[in-house]
Structure 1
């Protein structure tokens, strides 16, 4: 299992950015144990409805805040009070800011009695936390996923859990430059255009090609604008048989191990008519086709060795630029402009729109 240091990414083990940590239904008044970024964490939903993510262990004597069923605090349903969480061991109460608010048997509360907390946003049926090795506040927003969730005429995604993979996330992000894999892995044909554009913390992949299964007519062309916002959130607007919006995301569990999810929203009408059960079923079938296509990537990742130095040929996409772009999230934020200077701009790998190709 290759680690960040093996790829020489930078100073940090884990990247800076927004990361999915679960579906909305997983955040409840019963604290949920999680492990991401090599840390044990706890997610819970306060009485206000807001979700929270905090470190797992009480600073008092190290009890896990979620792994308990026998404490009377838990059995009496008193672990979540307002938006605060109580330790099942001694009942210390911590507010949403992580500070200890109350010790049942003491008027004295140590100033150091704090839980580490993380910025959390709930959006489009999913829960996201901000992780930054420097402990800084977010410097870019969580995407709104095209504004399609709950939008008229659109069928919301269901989230597909794709597995926990023993692979470094850089191997996933490499796909942004990987022009050559689309034909053997995804069934693309008759490529028209492939290019990448780098814009600071965002990288786009512009794609136009036919497809063996996702188009109804042989002459149809799938047109995609696919982009990463930060190191982990891939989104894609796809024009084809249906207009659709893809989300693929991964979150580090350990250095060299990630959890991966997929979702697809589908536009089934213009929003002026109800969405019938038949249309909804068709959208979910379309999502399943997208999931199966992504599963082809996952199978490769599950069975490949680490690619520390790609053996690039001239007609490959710009793997080097993607990796330079990606390194900005593993180094102090102050160094990001150096990466931007080396990558910002357009790189065209293939352009047959005028019967010419550019490398």
Structure 2
């Protein structure tokens, strides 16, 4: 396991960006959820008054009790019918201090005086989208730099909404995962792809891969396309969205979020356009979509199996035919450094890159 410092990525241990922290359905309960990301513990819950999702730092400032750790014996929990979520707030199970969704303590049952201003925990910017919960993480405490993850297809009745595949913890830094965006050379040996065209484009907070060719898993002769076309974009360091056309038309979602320095939690999902081409996806479509997601997951697990057992690639022996590893790693650094330095990295990284020996995905237009 290697750390941010080992990779010499930047000043901050954890990056700036939107990151998945839970599947939304995990909050369809009266109890809070204890989660850990960015080397910190959090209390995550759905408010019982409005249904809004709330993420607070986990430890009560009074005596450092975890607000969301499993607890069935405290009378705060028992009197709350099995929960310490109260309205959109949460009560500490130890002394019953209540914290609102803004993180401020608004009630100390046994105290008649003024509540100290220091009686608060940090409340984080979270958004429920795509059947998941995303948090904006910024070591500098700034507002979101780009929009939270979303897709217009999510509200289109002709698309099948997926369930998230929870792939657990990788003992790898996010750098190893994000390297995949430019790794042309692995597509044939690992995934069985016959790549016909490939390119990367780096611009702003996005790193893009465009490629097409044959594939052993995700295409069929009678599918939407005989070749697999993917337009894959990292929106910041933690959220990948890939428009793909093969057996069916779909959008693949892969999220990676740092847990501790050098460990990462990973999720996968696949939205699929109605295989029967219905305006409203049918039950049969849902079955076909789930099958297609399972096939896509198998392809992703081919990467996971390698990542689970590889040593950290601190100084790779990259060759011109590999892909734009060096450029993508420079792009990645912007998220681990102050925003004031962002342009320094973009000046070195932005552009379109094609590995030696392969045609670019984007073909020049022929004049009529």
Task: State TM-score, norm by structure 1.
Answer: 0.95
Provide the C-alpha distance between the structure 1 equivalents of 2:335 and 2:192, rounded to a whole number of angstroms. Answer: 32
Q: Which residue of 240, 251, 255 corresponds with 2:246?
A: 240
Q: Is the 8 A contact 1:154 1:271 kept in 2?
A: no
Q: Which moved more, 1:179-188 or 1:271-280?
A: 271-280
Per-residue CA shift, 1:116-163, capped at 9, x if unaligned? 12100001211111111112221111121x311241211111100112
Q: Matched residues in 1 for 2:363 and 2:200: separation? A: 19
Instruction: Tell me if the contact between 2:159 and 2:280 (Cα under 8 Å) persists in the aligned partners.
Output: no
Q: Secondary structure at the match of 1:171?
A: helix
Query: Counterpart of 1:208?
Result: 212
Residues 1:149 and 2:145 are matched in the alignment: no
Q: Which moved further from structure 2: 101-110 or 274-283?
A: 274-283
Match of residue 351 from structure 1: 359
- Aligned residue number for residue 290 of structure 2: 284
Could you tell me which residue of structure 1 aligns to residue 30 of structure 2?
29
Q: The residue matched to 1:342 in structure 2 has which SS?
A: helix
The CA distance in 1 between the partners of 2:142 and 2:338, in whole Å, is 10
Which deviates more, 55-64 or 19-28? 19-28
Provide TM-score, normalisation by structure 2. 0.92
The aligned counterpart of 2:133 is 127
Q: Which runs of 4+ in 1 moved over 3 A?
A: 269-274, 352-356
Instruction: For 2:206 and 2:168, locate their aligned partners in 1 and report how far apart those are by CA, in whole Å.
Output: 25
**C-alpha spacing 1:198/1:24, structure 2 compared with 1 (3 Å):** same
**Which residue number corresponds to residue 3 of structure 1?**
3
What secondary structure sits across from 2:354 in the alignment? Answer: strand
Q: Counterpart of 2:271? A: 265
| Consecutive unaligned residues in structure 1, runs of 5 or more | none
1:314 and 1:201 map into 2 onto residues whose CA distance is 24
Q: CA deviation at 1:179?
A: 0.1
CA contact (8 A) 1:250 1:260 kept: yes
Task: Measure the CA separation in 1 of the matches of 2:257 and 2:292.
Answer: 25
- Deviation, 1:353, is 7.2
Residue 76 of structure 2 corresponds to which residue in structure 1?
Answer: 73
Verify the 8 A CA contact 2:354 2:360 in the aligned structure 1.
no
Q: Deviations over 1:209-232 (max 9, x none)?
A: 111232212992111100000101
Residue in structure 1 matched with residue 328 of structure 2 by the alignment:
322
Alpha-carbon distance in structure 1 between the residues aligned to 2:280 and 2:253: 25
